[in-house]
Chain A
Amino acid sequence: MKADRIKSNSEAVASGQYDAADKSSVGLVETQHFFYDQPFRTSSGRDLPSIELAYETYGALNSDGRNAVLVCHALSGDHHAAGYHHSDDKKPGWWNHYIGPGKAIDTDRFYVVSVNNLGGCSGSTGPSSINPSTQAPWGPDFPTLRVRDWVASQHLLMGHLGIGQWAAVIGGSLGGMQALRWALEYPALLRHCVVLASAMKLTAQNIGFNNTARTAITNDPDFHDGRYYDHQTRPKNGLAIARMIGHITYLSGDLMGERFGRELRAGSFTQGVESHLEFQVESYLRHQGDKFAASFDANTYLLMLRALDYFDLAREYGDDPVTAFREAQCKFFVASFTSDWRFSPVRSREMVDALIAAEKPVSYVEIESSLGHDSFLLPVPRYQTVFSAYMRKISEEYEMKGGE
C-alpha cells in the first residue's frame, strides 16, 4: 500500500517508538542546560549579555576524557540527536540511526555531546528568548549569527564539560560546516573532523532556494517584521511553504517519483466528473510543512538559513581553501551522496582536493543513494559500514593511547 510506505518514509528520520528492550538505543535521555553568565561577543560585533545552551550527552566520558565527540546539527535540527525524552515519544532524536550502542557513533565507546545551536528554538538562547534589556522576545533584534559563533559557543560548553580535546567533531550539511570551522578555529582541540553531505560554501542556486524560503516567511502577513510574538501569532503559512521548498530540494527527483509518482490522494480524472483533485505529493508536503511550522520558530529558521548562506570556509584565508586547510591539524573523513543535488558530490570533492593539496590526511567516499541530501540522516548500508569503520578506528586510537 503506497500510502503506508509514504508515511513510513516521511517519518524515516525516526526509527520508531520507544522500546525499553532495544539494546541499540540510548534509551531515555534528558536535556541539560549550560548557562554562560558573561557577554558573548558575536561575529557581527554585538554582545549577547549571557547565553544558555541546551544539550544532551550519550555514553560516558572516559577518565582520560579522550572519547568525547561533538555532534553538530543541521538547519532544522536540535540537541535531541538520539534516544527518547519520554517513554511515550513517537520518535527518537534526529540521528538515532547513527548514535547508540553498536552504531556508527557507538555510545559504548564514545561520549557524545549534542548541542542546540545558539539562535535555536529548542532551549538555547535565540530570537524567541527574552531580551533582558527589553523584557520582551528578541525577535528580529537578535544578532545575526555565523557558523563561527556556534563553534565559539560549543567551545565554551566544551570547557564547561571538562573536555580537553574532541576525538571527533561530526556533522552533516550545515553541521559539516561547523565541523570544518572547528578544524580551522581550534585546530589543536580535535583529532578528527567528519564532514557529511556538506560544502565549503553554498552555490548561488542554494542561496536562491534559501532566499525563496525566507521570502515565504517574511511575506506572511502574520510575520509582522519578525515581531509576531507581540501579536500572539506565528507566520505558520510562510514557514510551512519555506519548509516545503526545503524538503523538495533535500529529496531527489527519482525518490519523489518512486514514492509518490502521480498518484492521487483525492478525486479522479474521470471525464464528465468534476472533483477536487489532490496528488499524494501535495498532501505529503503540506503535512511536512504544517508539522514543521507548528513546532519551529520562524526567526530561528531565518537565522539558520542566513548562517548557511554566509558560511565560506576560506573567506578569511584569501579565498583559498588550501591555505585555509593548512591551519588544520586533524584527520578528515568526508562523505557525499550521489543523488544529493543541494550539497552535491562535486562540493565534497572540492573540499577533498583542497585537503590533499594542503597535505592533510583525508578519506573520501561517494555513497550511491537515491535518498538525496537527507541520505546522511537515513540508513544507507554502505554509508553505515564506512562511517562505522572510520569511527571504530578513532576509538581504537584512544583505546590504545589509554592503555599505554
Chain B
Amino acid sequence: MSEVIFHVRRYQPGKDARPYYQEFRVPLTPGLTVLDGLWHIKETQDPSLAWRFSCRMGICGSCGMLINGRARLACNTQITELGTSRVCIAPLPNFDIIRDLVPDLQPMFRTHKEMKPFIIRGDGLTESSEGEFIQTSEELEHYLQFSYCIKCGCCMAACPTVASDREYAGPMPLAQAHRYNRDSRDMGFAERKQVLGGGRGPWRCHFAGECSRVCPKGVDPARAIQLMKRELFLDVLHLRGKSCAAPCAGKPTDAKRREGIPEAPKPTVG
C-alpha cells in the first residue's frame, strides 16, 4: 500500500447544514500516524481542516478522535496498526462539535471540576507549607493507575450510558473522584459524596466496560466506578472503614546539606 485514503468528517456550524465526509489521499510513509496524516492534508490539500493537538506523544490528551469506529489518540495511532488503507476519522461522539474534528470538552471538564479532583484536608495542612505527607507504596497502589488519566475524553466518547443519559457524570470524572477518594492523603470523601451520592453518580453506569477498553493510557475507569459503588454502598450502611488522613512528615530540622550540592532556587510564586 503506497497511499492511505482518509475519510474525514467535516462540519462548520453556521456554514454547513449537516456534517459530511470528505476524502483525502495521503502517501504512506514509515511511522505515519493519523496525526501526521492530518498534518499532511492541512499542509498540502486543505488548510481549513481543524482538529486539536499539542504534545504529539500521547501525554496531553488533546487529539482524541474517532478513528475507524474507535476513540483513540491520533498521535498514538499508527496507520499500519489499523490494518487497512482506509481511515475514517470523526470527532469524539457524545460531545458537541465546535468544528470538524474539534469536540467541545467543556461539559466534561465542568463535571470533572464538580468532583473536586484535588487533595482536600480538613486539618489545614498543605504539602507545600508543612512538608511531605507520608504515604506507603501500598497506599499509592490504591489510586496510582487512575492518576495516569490524561482527560482525553476517549472514555466519555465510548460510554453507551453517556450517549443516552445526559445527566450521567461519565467515566472520566467519576474515575478521578475515586482516584482522590482512595488517596490516603485525602479527607474529602464527605465533600465529594455530595455530588457522587446524587443523581449523576456511579449507579447509572451499566458496566459496559468500553471506557476501559479504549483508554489510551491503560486506565480502568470501569473498575474505579465499581469500586466507588461499593464504597458508597458501605458508606450508607456505616461499614466503610474510616482511616485517618496521612500525617505530615514535616520538614527535617537536623539534616545537613552535603558538600557540593547547591541551594535550591528561591520560589518564584506563592
A and B bound? no
